[in-house]
Structure 1
Amino acid sequence: MMPAKFKMSKKGVGQLLRSRMIQADMLNRAEKIEDLAVLIAPVGSPPDPHPGLYKASFKVTTTARGGRRKDRATATVTNTAPHAAHVEWGTEKTQAHHILLRAAQAGGG
């Protein structure tokens, strides 16, 4: 019996990395991360001028041309609240919550 032979095609690998199948998987993982982030997101209490805004401001985007070289499917979870960076990383007056970090570390799949 002859061993199987395989010849990699860089073009084919590139097509796979940009495929709808990979993009759908990236989207699925990002949506799971988003779900967990929403679940663990803090909601301010009085006198917070915008309670719940952070929790309601998560967004998932996807593209077939992502990554540093724009050569692969990616999905990104962001928070559009004006104070999102303060919630994630903290300030000298507030503790860091690391919501997106914790959700991403938990996986997405």
Structure 2
Amino acid sequence: MAARFKVKRKGIGQMLRMPGMQAEMLRRAEVIKGVAIGLSPVDPNSPHPGHYKASWETDSTSRGGRRRDRAVGYVRNTSYYARWVEYGTEKVPAHHVLLRAAQIGGRNQ
């Protein structure tokens, strides 16, 4: 006899917001943060060497995503020039630290 399974969208939504799911998203964000710290460039000639490297932080919420219906983890750099390090400028090449950290960290899960 074949097993029957009926999907309830409400139950899937509850599962995606569970505290365990939020904790797992935070754990994954911490892994990516660790890789990002390792990849972060440090300019010893700058006025604040290591500031970019020390500015990584993580967070998670149970109401994330486009529809605010699932647990998500965030990795961000709070230094004011983080976007220029990530995407580059006319004079400085892009380092893509967060992009590479997400690619590498995603494999190390």
Q: TM-score, normalised by structure 1?
A: 0.95
- Cα distance in 2 for residues equivalent to 1:9 and 1:22: 18
**Superposed displacement of residue 58, structure 1:** 0.4
- Counting only pairs closer than 5 Å after superposition, residues 20-99 of structure 1 correspond to structure 2 as 20-46=19-45, 48-99=46-97
Cα RMSD over matched residues? 0.8
Query: Quick one: distance in 2 between partners of 1:84 and 1:78?
Result: 9
| Structure 2 residue runs without a partner (length 5+) | none
Residue 87 of structure 1: CA displacement?
0.6
**2-side partners of 1:19 and 1:65: how far apart?**
10
Asked if 1:12 is matched to 2:14, the reply is no
**Structure 1 gap segments, 5+ residues each:** none
Q: Hey, what's the Cα distance between the residues in 2 that align with 1:20 and 1:90?
A: 37
Task: Give the superposition deviation at 1:73.
Answer: 0.1
Aligned sequence identity (%): 54
Rounded to whole Å, the distance in 2 between the matches of 1:45 and 1:89 is 21
- Number of residue pairs the alignment of both structures matches: 107
TM-score computed with the length of structure 2 as normaliser: 0.95
Which structure shows the higher helix fraction? 2
